[in-house]
């Protein structure tokens, strides 16, 4: 008798729930819940409070509604008995965090705090804590904090402590009222189980925690802000649960709301990109998984800790227990092409797309696919949204070189795709030079499915076969796999995520092989890319930053 | 009793004729003739002969038809007596040249040669003689020819001897059959007067002639090709006529065809850009005239010969008798904006333009005018069509830096305008550093009339007042002025072009003054432009050329 698990992938605009057959990983049923309050970036719901620029909040009630609406739907669609569903796993955007009371009540649910924006969930893309991130980075550099190197030398404004410090800076009364500061991922598991846990993935990648060294020291926090000295002890936890561990059993209340059995095993939470790694069949060192969407996350496992320049982070047990999980990223991939399509493509192409009944991306891809590598004479630096790895510099900007009066839109489009491929190659080579092997490459996410030209270009530029994950829901599948591990083999699940991956994760049969003639041309173009990358990115000519400063001066 | 002169401006697609009042320069009547065969770049007219890429020919019969059709029209429209029209002047694109028999018969009019493309007029933008230009430049450099410095170190494939050498290389029978190789400008004057003359402007700027040193030596030509040793003596002329000189009187036949008096003074020919200088009121050193259209020509006069790096040429008597005429150029100005509008502007903007009943340039200009200098964070190198001055390098290409996901089309449009302004400033500063004063700046051509934002940006970037020529037909007016000088004061004209300019040439009352706050920002942006200009243009990073080589390798 087959057993099943549920995976819930909490995204930026919606949550997707899948019910998965543990015997083969197939998706039996799926449902999507679009958050009622979505991304809150203008007005606080139900109040006249206007948000500042760069703010992005969410309503935690949306997460609960996502569970209580989608789980009954997949159960009904599958026609399974709740007894056959043995585990639940969830993954989340991160760092997406909120302040709560000791019993888990979000501060934004308390009437007298509801009109304070700091009482709400700060979404991963809340970017208003940049001043706090700068202070943390400056102080860490000054104090030569040992953890800084594990994060490529710089932490992001999106992470946990900048967000926490922003609350303390701007709303000390909220900071005081918060018994807990917690990742939404862990908070949601708390709601499901009644047990507060903290997972090693968000702790490691977003809250500067490591298995061997713990969190930054109270002295460090005190130097940042006296009230912050004991933030970990007071409002967080030193106890960090490994991925795949059973956080607890589903509460009676949640069982009633979802139709599942009370006590169903719930795994500790995970992060959307990281949970996709075992769903992409990868549980051992040597294979990079690239989750390619609006941006790209690059994940690879290693048996040892290496310091890789400009990586986002290395976390022991951060992806797969027993291994070091390395993460790097490109901050602008699908976003790049979307910007181009929206801003730079003439009406003639739009009419062609309409006539052919396709979207503009498809029209451009079809035209760009007619071009040979190097034929356009164009080269771009893919920094329209800064550079996340390996330069870790949000102030870098996009560059296009080689334009002539004969340059066509599809040539620029192709050059942008190529630029993101060169950017990936820089990341791969940086890992390899730092002693982290990258022998294979697996692509996941929405882009590989939608754009075959892009995949071929990546194969040609990287000079490697590119494999593609079979499912487009690698996040939700990975969560279900972790749910199965939380349940354990004795209950019909798995004891180890490696075992779950062997059975449940699959790659497509079709792979993308490099074409030697293309590779030869792209090797030359990549050399040019690297020269420009270093010239503009490593301080020889900081024109991009000076242009940004001039821009800021004019706008202020 | 007022006297009048006719000026005929032979352009690329059409010729424009104006009849001008000599007492004040006002345009009494005008007519346009569009060439029947236009630019011949695909098939030879009346034959199945297909042209190679980069070819551009014309039919000399079109030039004659332009005269016989437009002159009667302006005469009729003005209701003047032919006796009141005392002079004719013409200006032409250059180098636009053709092979003829000793009596002036174009070889393409000889039935047995008509199907050979080399028998036709090679238009200025015939670019198929690049290999010949390369050979000439290589040889000149190797022999350290003294004339090379007068042309910024390099001559263009558009000029006279590359075109002549291409005929000899590819069609020696045409070279042999040609008793004359002649500028179309001089050929047309020959048709009007029956007298073969050669003007100092095309000779100096396009055929490497100087008043003091004459043409390159027979030894040089012989080293280029043995058959070419005596090209000047055999097929050209050592006698070069000064601008404004009377080439001859209108022939009886042409008088009958046009309705003018036989014997009406005809001035020696001139070049469209150069003839516009006195029409822009400029007859003395210190004022740069920029003829701004698809490309821009920069002309300035000097009392002495200076060697200016990367200028197109310096020719004694080349613009105004008694002075050295300096020319520099930007190969892509209006063409730049046209490329952008055609290839990079989304349908939404096209619909906005249609709704407002304007063209896309106007929509973009209106939006770009809302931006402050530096606000976009963008910077471009205006090399979409190479760099004519001061780098003299056709293999340079366009660059855009500073793009973000928030970059809008009007920001790029404005950055392209700014880039051409920076390019002009480089030229101005190079002249000044080389000892050629540029105290004032006058704009002529189509662009100043059409785009006020562009003029303001030029004023802001150059930090100078920009004056604008009153007429949009500076070429034809300048030609009429030269016609009046050919007639002379005794006939009711002028003895010197300076006198004609004083009375006939005018500037607009409206000028463009630099705005100090804009200037301050543009000074910073210009510094960045110069750094990139030198980095990519002076050999530190030849990526643009390598991309072009890769492109050529892929396409071959």
Q: Across the interface, do A385 and B405 touch by the CB < 8 Å criterion?
A: yes
**Closest partner residue to B397 among A401, A409, A541, by Cβ?**
A401
- Give B337-378 pLDDT, tens digit per residue: 999 999 999 999 999 999 999 999 999 999 999 999 999 999
Q: Across the interface, do A405 and B384 touch by the CB < 8 Å criterion?
A: yes
Which chain B residues contact residue A543 at CB under 8 A? 379, 401, 528, 531-532
A360-368 vs A334-343: helix crossing angle, rounded to 10: 100
Q: Across the interface, do B547 and A535 touch by the CB < 8 Å criterion?
A: no
**Closest partner residue to A402 among B405, B547, B553, by Cβ?**
B547
pLDDT of residue A381: 98
**Closest partner residue to A403 among B335, B398, B532, by Cβ?**
B398
**Closest partner residue to A554 among B343, B372, B399, by Cβ?**
B372
Buried b (16+ CB within 10 A) or exposed e, A184-199: bbbbbbbbbbbbbbbb
pLDDT of residue A54: 87
Which chain A residues contact residue B398 at CB under 8 A? 400-404, 407
Q: Across the interface, do A401 and B399 touch by the CB < 8 Å criterion?
A: yes
Residue range B183-197: average pLDDT?
Answer: 98
- Could you tell me which residue, A242 or B53, shows the higher pLDDT? A242
Q: What angle do CA A145, A146, A150 make, to 5 degrees?
A: 115
Q: Across the interface, do A541 and B532 touch by the CB < 8 Å criterion?
A: yes
pLDDT of residue A48: 83
- Distant-in-sequence, close-in-space partners of B368: CB < 8 Å, separation ≥ 6: B410, B411, B413, B414, B417, B453
Minimal Cα–Cα distance from B541 to chain A, Å? 9
Minimal Cα–Cα distance from B222 to chain A, Å? 37
Pairwise CA distance, residues B251 & B195, whole Å: 9
**Residue B393 DSSP label:** B
**Closest partner residue to B399 among A336, A400, A541, by Cβ?**
A400
Is the Cβ–Cβ distance between B281 and B506 less than 8 Å? Answer: yes
Pairwise CA distance, residues A301 & A315, whole Å: 10
Which chain B residues contact residue A393 at CB under 8 A? none
Q: Across the interface, do B384 and A378 touch by the CB < 8 Å criterion?
A: no
Quick check: B311 pLDDT over 90? yes
- Distant-in-sequence, close-in-space partners of A103: CB < 8 Å, separation ≥ 6: none
Which chain B residues contact residue A372 at CB under 8 A? 554
Query: What HEC string does B369-401 produce?
Result: CCCCCCCCCCEEECCECEECCCCCECCCCEEEE
Partners of B210 in the β-ladder: B214
**Closest partner residue to A397 among B404, B546, B555, by Cβ?**
B404
Quick check: B54 pLDDT over 90? no
Q: Confidence band (pLDDT; 50, 70, 90) for B393?
A: confident
- Shortest CA distance from A294: residue in chain B: B405
Which chain B residues contact residue A534 at CB under 8 A? none
Which chain A residues contact residue B401 at CB under 8 A? 397-399, 536, 543-544, 547
pLDDT of residue B394: 86
Pairwise CA distance, residues B551 & B556, whole Å: 9
**Closest partner residue to B397 among A377, A521, A528, by Cβ?**
A377
Q: Across the interface, do A372 and B532 touch by the CB < 8 Å criterion?
A: no
Q: Across the interface, do A377 and B409 touch by the CB < 8 Å criterion?
A: no
Which chain A residues contact residue B543 at CB under 8 A? 379, 401, 528, 531-532
Pairwise CA distance, residues A95 & A164, whole Å: 11
Which chain A residues contact residue B521 at CB under 8 A? 550, 554
- Shortest CA distance from B547: residue in chain A: A377
Q: Across the interface, do B346 and A344 touch by the CB < 8 Å criterion?
A: yes
Minimal Cα–Cα distance from A459 to chain B, Å? 19
Quick check: B392 pLDDT over 90? no
Which chain A residues contact residue B379 at CB under 8 A? 543, 547
Minimal Cα–Cα distance from A132 to chain B, Å? 24
CA B77 to chain centre: 29
- Shortest CA distance from B402: residue in chain A: A397
Partners of A97 in the β-ladder: A122, A183
Q: In the structure encoding, which two tokens stand for residue B199, read together?
A: 């003007």
Residue range B417-422: average pLDDT?
Answer: 98
Partners of A57 in the β-ladder: A40, A122
- Shortest CA distance from A525: residue in chain B: B547
pLDDT of residue A555: 76
Pairwise CA distance, residues B284 & B501, whole Å: 11
Minimal Cα–Cα distance from A55 to chain B, Å? 17
Minimal Cα–Cα distance from A408 to chain B, Å? 6
Q: Across the interface, do B548 and A377 touch by the CB < 8 Å criterion?
A: yes
Q: In the structure encoding, which two tokens stand for residue A396, read together?
A: 């870098």
Partners of A240 in the β-ladder: none
Which one of A330, A347, A382, A385 would you mutate to disrupt binding with B, by most B Cβ within 10 Å of its Cβ? A347
pLDDT of residue B302: 97
Is the Cβ–Cβ distance between A296 and A290 less than 8 Å? Answer: yes
- Shortest CA distance from B401: residue in chain A: A399
**Closest partner residue to A379 among B344, B531, B547, by Cβ?**
B547
**Residue B193 DSSP label:** H
- Shortest CA distance from B348: residue in chain A: A347
- Shortest CA distance from A379: residue in chain B: B547
Task: For B10-68, give the DSSP string.
Answer: E-SSEEEEEEEETTT--EEEEEEEE-SS-SB-SB-TTS-PBPPTT--EE-HHHHHHHHH
Quick check: B555 pLDDT over 80? no
**Closest partner residue to A409 among B344, B403, B405, by Cβ?**
B344
pLDDT of residue A449: 87
> What's the ipTM?
0.93
Which chain B residues contact residue A373 at CB under 8 A? 554
Share of chain B above pLDDT 70, in %: 100
Size of interface A-B (CB pairs under 8 A): 166
A 10 A CB-CB count for A355 gives 9
Which chain B residues contact residue A347 at CB under 8 A? 345-347, 350-351
Quick check: B510 pLDDT over 90? yes
**Residue A320 DSSP label:** S
- Shortest CA distance from B410: residue in chain A: A343
- Shortest CA distance from B543: residue in chain A: A528
Minimal Cα–Cα distance from A552 to chain B, Å? 8
Minimal Cα–Cα distance from A399 to chain B, Å? 4
Minimal Cα–Cα distance from B120 to chain A, Å? 27
Which chain A residues contact residue B340 at CB under 8 A? none
Which chain A residues contact residue B345 at CB under 8 A? 344, 346-347
**Closest partner residue to B532 among A345, A397, A543, by Cβ?**
A543
User: pLDDT (tens digit, 0 to 9) for every residue of chain A, 556 residues total?
Assistant: 799 999 999 999 999 999 999 999 999 999 999 999 999 999 999 888 999 988 999 999 999 999 999 999 999 999 999 999 999 999 999 999 999 999 999 999 999 999 999 999 999 999 899 899 999 999 999 999 999 999 999 999 999 999 999 999 999 999 999 999 999 999 999 999 999 999 999 999 999 999 999 999 999 999 999 999 999 999 999 999 999 999 999 999 999 999 999 999 999 999 999 999 999 999 999 999 999 998 999 999 999 999 999 999 999 999 999 999 999 999 899 999 999 999 999 999 999 999 999 999 999 999 999 999 999 999 999 999 999 999 988 889 999 999 999 999 999 999 999 999 999 999 999 999 999 999 999 999 989 988 999 999 999 999 999 999 999 999 999 999 999 999 999 999 999 999 999 999 999 999 999 999 999 999 999 999 999 999 999 999 999 999 999 999 987 7
Which one of A394, A543, A553 would you mutate to disrupt binding with B, by most B Cβ within 10 Å of its Cβ? A543
- Could you tell me which residue, B332 or A165, shows the higher pLDDT? A165
CA B314 to chain centre: 15
């Amino acid at each position: 008798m087959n057993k099943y698990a549920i995976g819930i992938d909490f995204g930026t605009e919606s949550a997707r729930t899948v019910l998965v057959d543990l015997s083969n990983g197939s998706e039996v049923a799926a449902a999507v819940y679009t958050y009622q309050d979505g991304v809150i970036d203008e007005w606080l719901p139900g109040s006249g409070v206007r948000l500042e620029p760069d703010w992005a909040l969410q309503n935690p009630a949306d997460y609960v509604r996502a569970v209580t609406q989608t789980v009954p739907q997949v159960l009904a669609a599958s026609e399974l008995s709740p007894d056959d569903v043995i585990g639940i796993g969830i993954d989340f955007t991160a760092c997406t965090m909120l302040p709560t009371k000791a019993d888990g009540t979000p501060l934004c649910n308390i009437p007298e705090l509801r009109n304070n924006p700091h009482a709400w969930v700060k979404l991963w893309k809340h970017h208003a804590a940049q001043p706090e991130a700068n202070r943390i980075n400056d102080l860490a550099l000054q104090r030569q904090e040992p953890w800084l190197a594990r994060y490529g030398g710089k932490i992001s404004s999106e992470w946990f402590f900048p967000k926490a410090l922003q609350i303390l800076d701007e709303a000390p009364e909220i900071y005081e009222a918060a018994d807990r500061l917690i990742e939404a991922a862990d908070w949601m598991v708390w709601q499901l189980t009644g047990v507060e846990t903290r997972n090693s993935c968000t702790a490691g990648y977003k809250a500067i925690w490591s298995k061997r060294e713990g969190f930054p020291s109270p002295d460090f926090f005190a130097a940042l802000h006296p009230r912050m000295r004991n933030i970990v002890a007071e409002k967080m936890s030193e106890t960090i649960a490994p991925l795949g561990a059973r956080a607890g059993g589903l509460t009676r209340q949640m069982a009633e709301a979802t139709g599942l059995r009370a006590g169903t095993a719930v795994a500790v939470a995970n992060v959307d990109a990281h949970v996709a790694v075992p769903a992409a069949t990868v549980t051992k060192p040597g294979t990079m998984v690239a989750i390619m969407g609006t941006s790209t996350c690059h994940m690879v496992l290693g048996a040892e800790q290496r310091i890789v320049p400009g990586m986002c982070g290395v976390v022991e047990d951060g992806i797969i227990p027993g291994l070091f999980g390395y993460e790097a990223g490109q901050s602008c991939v699908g976003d790049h092409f979307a910007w181009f399509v929206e801003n730079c493509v003439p009406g003639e192409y739009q009419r062609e797309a309409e006539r052919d009944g396709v979207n503009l991306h498809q029209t451009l891809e079809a035209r760009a696919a007619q071009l040979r590598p190097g034929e356009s004479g164009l080269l771009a630096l893919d920094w329209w949204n800064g550079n996340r790895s390996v330069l870790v510099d949000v102030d870098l900007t996009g560059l296009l070189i080689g334009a002539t009066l004969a340059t066509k839109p599809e040539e620029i489009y192709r050059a942008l795709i190529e630029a993101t491929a060169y950017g990936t190659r820089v990341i791969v080579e940086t890992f390899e030079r730092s002693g982290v092997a990258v022998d294979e490459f697996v692509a996941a996410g929405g882009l590989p499915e939608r754009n075959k030209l892009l995949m071929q270009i990546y194969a040609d530029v990287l000079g490697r076969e590119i494999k593609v994950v079979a499912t487009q829901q690698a996040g939700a599948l990975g969560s279900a796999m972790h749910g199965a591990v939380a349940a354990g083999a004795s209950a019909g699940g798995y004891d180890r995520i490696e075992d779950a991956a062997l059975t449940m994760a699959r790659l497509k049969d079709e792979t993308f092989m490099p074409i030697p003639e293309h590779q030869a041309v792209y090797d030359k173009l990549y050399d040019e890319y690297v020269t420009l990358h270093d010239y503009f990115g490593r301080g020889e000519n900081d024109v991009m930053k000076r242009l940004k400063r001039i821009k800021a001066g004019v706008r202020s």
